[in-house]
Amino acid sequence: MEQMEQVSPIGLPEDTQRLLSRARAPFERIFVPVDYGADGHRAVGVALELQRVYGSTVCLFHVQDEEGSEEFLAGVGAPVDADGASEAIARLRRFVDNIAPGAASRVEARARVGGDAETAKLVLDEAAEWRATLIVVTATTHRALLRTVAERVVRKTPVAVLVLHGDPD
């Protein structure tokens, strides 16, 4: 007697179910560095759509320029202090609510302080600490790719990276 292939409760063969499960894995924990520009809107929008489709957890992250106000800064590359963190997180939540009203309650927000030279490192460190399975970044082609934060993130992270084409400056 020929053995029948096992079928999942939703009607898919068991091996197909396993493949779909592995395909969803990169979308479990989506990390989005935000710079508040038009490209940031696009990256957050894509992350929110992936969240809707896959039930993902989304974290927005912003590197606060170390040239900011003294009240905001806790130190170069350090997590911002409690007051500064609250301010940065509130700004990230307002940003996401401008893109998708009501979505702020569905995302986590984080912030750190640093200069342009260390942005990629801070993004990578925070994504690793948060245990991201996918990082969504934008990149433009108007300058050498080797100088972009997106390229450094792609080159140095062990997780999947979705690179969206950004608008040139």
Assign 65 to helix, strand or coil.
strand
pLDDT of residue 74: 42
Residue with tokens 């993902």: 56
pLDDT tens string 40-92:
899 999 999 999 988 999 999 998 776 554 444 444 444 445 455 677 788 99
Residues 88 and 72: their CA atoms lie apart, in Å, by 8
Per-residue pLDDT at 23 exceeds 90: no
Mean pLDDT confidence for 30-40: 90
The model scores a pTM over 0.85: no
150's tokens: 């997106």
pLDDT of residue 64: 78
Per-residue pLDDT at 164 exceeds 80: yes
Residues 24 and 65: their CA atoms lie apart, in Å, by 34
Residues in the chain: 169
Q: Where are the alpha helices (DSSP H) in 100-144?
A: 119-130
Judge contact between 24 and 53, C-beta under 8 A: no
Contacts 24+ apart (CB under 8 A), 70-79: 72/113, 73/113, 74/113, 75/113, 76/113, 76/114, 76/115, 76/118, 77/112, 77/113, 77/114, 77/118, 77/121, 77/122, 78/112, 78/113, 79/111, 79/112, 79/113
Closest-CA residue to 138 (of 44, 65, 63, 55) = 44
All domains of the chain, ordered by start, with CATH?
25-165 (3.40.50.620)
Q: Among 42-46, 109-113, 129-133, which is the least confidently predicted range?
A: 109-113
